[in-house]
Structure 1
Amino acid sequence: MELNTALEEISHAESLEALQALKVRYLGRNGLLTQAMKTLGQLSPEERRERGRTLNEWKERLEKALEAREATLKEQALQRRLEEESVDVTLPGLAFPSGGLHLTSLILGELLRIFRRMGFSVVEGPEVESEFFNFDALNMPEWHPARDMQDTFWVEFRGEPSFTIQGPFGERVNELGGAVLRTHTSGMQIRYMIQHTPPFRIVVPGRVFRYEETDASHEAMFHQLEGLVVGEGITMADLKGAIAELARGLFGKEGKARFQPTFFPFVEPGVQFAMWWPEREKWLELGGAGMVHPYLFKVVDDYRERLGLPRAYQGVTGWAFGMGVERLAILRYGIPDIRYFYQNRLSFLKQFKG
């Protein structure tokens, strides 16, 4: 064994694994220096002393060389790791993806803020509705042709024959008809009037359902916003003023509204309303409205009387409107297909997130 050769090999070891191999080779149980130590017993006392001293010096120098090289290799490994993991604080940060409100929620929130500024309260109603509140009480009895305009999802409660559709005060209304997924939010007009006495101003946001084939302009589920105002001396002028204020809230101070006569069974007279969009210089047809039909007030008072409540809707007038939330978004942003709203198309949704 040559000490200088061993020291040179240790000083040139390129890794901790190679260094460990050299340590085993020279100082291990069967290493070269260990084997040399085992031969000392074959020497004379004088030779053993001299040879033992030399071998001990070699062992000490080898151990120091191994420790020094190990420290150097570890320092080099740490430096490489720091270089690999170093962070350039001058680089721009990573933009992590974030969620946001759905386009429908954004439009609905905008509409509700406008009506709250006008003093309206926001109320909600059940999505599973009785045939009475969804149709009959809105002047659409079973034989009325207006029912044909709304293909309906009828609901069956399997295994629960005693399931009840509740009225405004929790009363059973099963005997007044079957259960449907509401086709419009207008049923909440009747529910609210039974529970409250005028004057009041409310808007009703919510999902509605139509049983129809889907295409670019039709979807089985969408959102509506219903409005109802009842009190003494309420006129079409009040309705026109509210819709005009909505137009200004949506499209700026130059926004305005126009009415065109039409028919809805629950208002008389009825109108379609459009809003002027100054930026695009075009009219947007957005919904229907009109004066609350006297039949609805009679239905409400009759219902209240059955519940032992005083009649409250004689001598009052009111107006109501309804509009599609997605329709406003489609017209405002030029969206070509209503199905994009609920297909979880991130390429579409992330354009509008709030």
Structure 2
Amino acid sequence: MIDKIKEYISEVEEFSAKTKEEIETFRIKFSGKKGLVNDFFAEFRNIANDQKKEFGQAINALKVAAEDKVRSLKDELESKEEEKGTYGDLTRPSEPITLGSRHPISLVKNQIIDIFSRIGFNVSEGPEIEDDWHNFTALNLPEYHPARDMQDTFFIQTDPDILLRTHTSSVQVRYMEENKPPIRTISPGRVYRNEAISARSHCFFHQVEGLYIDKDVSFADLKQTLQYFTTEMFGKSKIRLRPSYFPFTEPSAEVDVYWGLETETDYKMTKGTGWLEIMGCGMVDPNVLKNCNIDPEEYSGFAFGMGIDRIALLLYGISDIRMLSENDVRFLEQFKSAL
């Protein structure tokens, strides 16, 4: 009897199947209620006592072998069916892939970075939670300086020296502290100001600020750089610089680009003048260079800054700045075709 069981074990080990029906027939033959394994267990009481141990071990070996064979055959067959279902019919329709889109802020930021990278500017980044030194004091805005009132600031309540940065000029300070001239960098990022939220302003927005420090840098270099940018960004080559005031640059200027008066929208945007303000700029104040351990007698430089959100509103004809942060899918889907 034991020899018969061993023959069945050999049969199980050699068995193979190509269909589920063959596997099921094999399972019923060995493991079914009327299968061979149960028949052998029924014969157990008729076996002599001195052979019961060996007989029982043989039956268990047959049972385990049959169950393992059924399991392995099913797994193998399912694997083949899955592979065939996935790769077999290459003419079947594919699953629809929804085309994604970039946010208009990302589109504009990447375009600005690309324009300035062509003339040697790298990208620098810094923390959004900043200290007073890098955000104000190093930029020629000591404590109690009246120009601090130009920016309503979010201070961290537990520490009056810590705040949410109000501009990415703080990144430029950190970059000057860690790098020696010549320096040519732009600093894109999100900034925060305690302002009322409306269609034209928000308590957080995005900026790109640029910095160039080297020997014999002049205001003419600044103007030429901005001329290049406006031509590449807007296709407008006519600009003007109006005197202005920024604590960290001297002299300072507001930059206008001549947008034109070709459409009714142009009249509305430029208030009938044709000119549109796009950024502020100026020559870096010597005090700022000193605060960053750069000798103002040897080096000079210029800085500029612009709002990414405002340019996005302008380029894409968006009337409400709040739409840029509301994550309305209907709004964002308009930019699916943009790279």
**Does TM-score exceed 0.5, indicating one fold?**
yes
CA drift of 1:96 comes to: 4.9
Q: Which residue of 2 aligns with 1:146?
A: 147
Q: Which residue of 2 aligns with 1:244?
A: 227
CA drift of 1:323 comes to: 0.4
Q: Which residue of 2 aligns with 1:186?
A: 169
CA 1:129–1:258: 2 relative to 1, 3 Å: same
Question: Which residue of 259, 274, 283 maps to 1:277?
Answer: 259
Q: Alignment partner of 1:230: what SS? A: strand
CA contact (8 A) 1:197 1:312 kept: no
For residues 128 and 222 of structure 2, the distance between their equivalents in structure 1, rounded to whole angstroms, comes to 27
Question: Which residue of 286, 298, 303 maps to 1:294?
Answer: 286
CA contact (8 A) 1:287 1:324 kept: yes
- CA deviations over 1:194-217 (Å, ceiling 9, x no partner): 111111210000000111220111
For residues 99 and 156 of structure 1, the distance between their equivalents in structure 2, rounded to whole angstroms, comes to 40
Query: Would you say how many aligned residue pairs link Structure 1 and Structure 2?
Result: 237
Structural mapping, 1:257-276, within 5 Å: 257-276=239-258
Matched, 1:132 2:133: yes
Question: Which residue of 180, 184, 188 maps to 1:197?
Answer: 180
CA contact (8 A) 1:247 1:276 kept: no
Question: Which residue of 194, 201, 208 maps to 1:225?
Answer: 208
List gaps (5 residues or longer) in structure 1.
Answer: 1-88, 162-176, 302-310
Q: Which residue of 2 aligns with 1:118?
A: 119
Structural mapping, 1:1-354, within 5 Å: 96-156=97-157, 178-252=161-235, 254-277=236-259, 282-301=274-293, 312-353=295-336, 354=338
For residues 339 and 94 of structure 1, the distance between their equivalents in structure 2, rounded to whole angstroms, comes to 35
TM-score of the aligned structures, taking structure 2 as reference length: 0.65
For residues 154 and 225 of structure 1, the distance between their equivalents in structure 2, rounded to whole angstroms, comes to 22
CA drift of 1:111 comes to: 0.3
CA contact (8 A) 1:232 1:316 kept: yes
Q: Alignment partner of 2:254: what SS? A: strand
CA drift of 1:295 comes to: 0.8
CA drift of 1:93 comes to: 9.3
For residues 182 and 203 of structure 1, the distance between their equivalents in structure 2, rounded to whole angstroms, comes to 16
CA contact (8 A) 2:101 2:332 kept: no
For residues 95 and 240 of structure 2, the distance between their equivalents in structure 1, rounded to whole angstroms, comes to 49
CA drift of 1:192 comes to: 1.1
Q: Alignment partner of 2:224: what SS? A: helix
For residues 127 and 333 of structure 1, the distance between their equivalents in structure 2, rounded to whole angstroms, comes to 27
For residues 140 and 295 of structure 2, the distance between their equivalents in structure 1, rounded to whole angstroms, comes to 19
For residues 314 and 126 of structure 1, the distance between their equivalents in structure 2, rounded to whole angstroms, comes to 30
Letter in 2 for 1:319: F
List gaps (5 residues or longer) in structure 2.
Answer: 1-90, 267-273
Q: Alignment partner of 1:148: what SS? A: helix
TM-score of the aligned structures, taking structure 1 as reference length: 0.63
CA drift of 1:287 comes to: 1.1
Q: Alignment partner of 1:350: what SS? A: helix
Q: Alignment partner of 1:351: what SS? A: helix
Letter in 2 for 1:341: L
For residues 104 and 333 of structure 1, the distance between their equivalents in structure 2, rounded to whole angstroms, comes to 11
CA drift of 1:218 comes to: 1.1
For residues 276 and 123 of structure 1, the distance between their equivalents in structure 2, rounded to whole angstroms, comes to 30
